[in-house]
Amino acid sequence: SVPASITSAISAGTRRGLLIKGGGALETIGSVRTIAFDKTGTLTAGRPRVTDIVGDQVGRAEVLRLAAAVESGSSHPLAKAITAAAQQEGMTIPAAQGAQALPGKGASATVEGRALSVSSPRHAAELAPLSPALLSTITAFEEQGRTAVVLLDGATPLGVLAIRDEPRPDARAALARLKDLGIQTVMLTGDNTRTGQAIGRDLGLDVQAELLPEDKLRLIASYKAQGGVAMVGDGINDAPALAQSDVGIAMGGGTDVALETADAALLRERVSGVADLVALSRATMGNIK
Ligand code: ADP
Ligand code: MG
């Protein structure tokens, strides 16, 4: 049977917005060596906004109009930022045919008879040569912690959009608290290395960037073998990593899939909830021993 102190710790957690799905999760969370975080929607607020648009062959309005068409069927946070920006400018977004998501890379569709894609610079460079001028524009955005995506028409770059998602206000302090608790923290992101490191420097944690979904699973497995790992995420795309880690923690406002897969959830959407969980676990297990 479950010790009374565990049952009452779980109730105490619930009152503070920490939903813990069982004694096993409560026990494990205080003993992991590493806590891995998704970036978008977890360490950041998950409300990315388009900050800059640069046209290469066409004007910036045309870059936004076409990119929004490609992204109109996607629920990816970057896609939502791009369609919202087009709507805000009052544009009519043209219809897209054959829209496809390329997980960890971008999206593509046929729009007004053109085979368009919106993707990471790395993926774009596999499809088309990017000019030195375009590359330096991209690098400048990334060094500011912005995510740059490239609009291509076949193998012709049409422009670049920069997108910024602000870190959650409590993220930096919460990560410092976890360090004080002796826990190694790392951000796992599909975003590019320069953007990831700019944000990691701001927040004070290690960064593993340019990861495909399978790379994230491989890293989780290795942290698991090196003292145990908890993973914190919010999206559908985080569900496999949440399931694979010793303890999966869902950021409360996230998708149902993340909430269902996770062993614990932070209903108040604060990064500090992760440190609260560790402290609650250690206090409870310390009482039992
Ligand atoms: P993260 O791990 O930060 O959640 P993803 O793995 O979802 O990121 O995506 C990694 C990168 O792939 C993004 O930074 C972006 O460059 C590109 N990408 C993925 N999906 C899209 C999309 N729908 N539109 C544009 N770019 C995308
Ligand atoms: Mg996310």
pLDDT tens-digit map of 124-172: 999 999 999 999 999 999 999 999 999 999 999 999 999 999 999 999 9
Residue 152: name the closest of 192, 123, 118, 110 by CA. 118
Determine the pLDDT at residue 143: 95
How many CB atoms within 10 Å of residue 129? 10
- Of the listed ligands, the closest to the CA of 123 is 1
**Domain boundaries in the chain?**
4-45+167-288, 49-164
Interval 44-63 mean pLDDT: 95
**74 CB less than 6 Å from ligand 1?**
yes
- Judged against a pLDDT cut of 70, whether residue 1 lies above it is answered with no
- Give the model's pLDDT for residue 251: 93
2 has pLDDT over 80: no
Q: Which atom of ligand 1 is nearest to the CA of 122?
A: 16
- Classify each residue of 247-258 as buried b or exposed e, where b means 16 or more C-beta atoms within 10 Å of its C-beta: bbbbbbbbbebb
**Structure confidence at residue 258 (pLDDT):** 84
Nearest ligand, CA of residue 236?
2
79 lines ligand 1 (CB under 6 A): yes
Q: H/E element holding 41?
A: none
Average pLDDT over residues 10-28: 95
The percent of residues in the chain predicted with pLDDT above 90, rounded, is 88
Which of these is catalytic: 38, 165, 191, 246? 38
Nearest to 184 by CA among 216, 240, 228, 217: 228
Q: Which ligand 1 atom sits closest to the C-alpha of 39?
A: 3
Over residues 176-197, mean pLDDT: 96
Measuring from atom 27 of ligand 1, which residue has the nearest CA? 106
- Architecture per CATH, domain 4-45+167-288, reads as 3-Layer(aba) Sandwich (3.40)
Ligand 1 pocket mutation pick from 43, 105, 220 by most atoms within 8 angstroms of CB: 105
Local structure of residue 167 (DSSP, 8 states): B
Give CATH superfamily name and number for 49-164.
Calcium-transporting ATPase, cytoplasmic domain N (3.40.1110.10)
Q: From the CA of 41, how far away is ligand 1's center (Å)? A: 13
Categorize the per-residue pLDDT at 32 as very low, low, confident or very high, splitting at 50, 70 and 90: very high
Q: Check whether 50 has a pLDDT greater than 80.
A: yes
Radius of gyration of the chain (CA): 21
38 tagged catalytic: yes
pLDDT score of 289: 62
Q: Are 199 and 167 in contact (CB under 8 A)?
A: yes
Report the residue among 102, 165, 191, 194 best suited for mutation to probe ligand 1: largest number of ligand atoms under 8 A from its CB.
191
Q: For the residues 161-185, what does the mean pLDDT come to?
A: 97
End-to-end CA distance of the chain: 16
Q: Does any ligand 1 atom lie closer than 6 A to the CB of residue 237?
A: yes
Question: Ligand 2 mean position to 57 CA, how many Å?
Answer: 32
In the predicted structure, residue 188 carries a pLDDT above the cut 90: yes
Q: What is the ipTM of this complex?
A: 0.95
Reported confidence tier of residue 96, pLDDT bands at 50, 70, 90: very high
Q: Are 251 and 44 in contact (CB under 8 A)?
A: no
How many angstroms does the Cα of residue 236 sit away from the middle of ligand 1? 13
- Mean of per-residue pLDDT scores for the chain: 95
pLDDT at 252 over 90: no
Would you state the pLDDT for residue 253? Answer: 76
The first and second tokens of residue 127, run together, are 């499809």
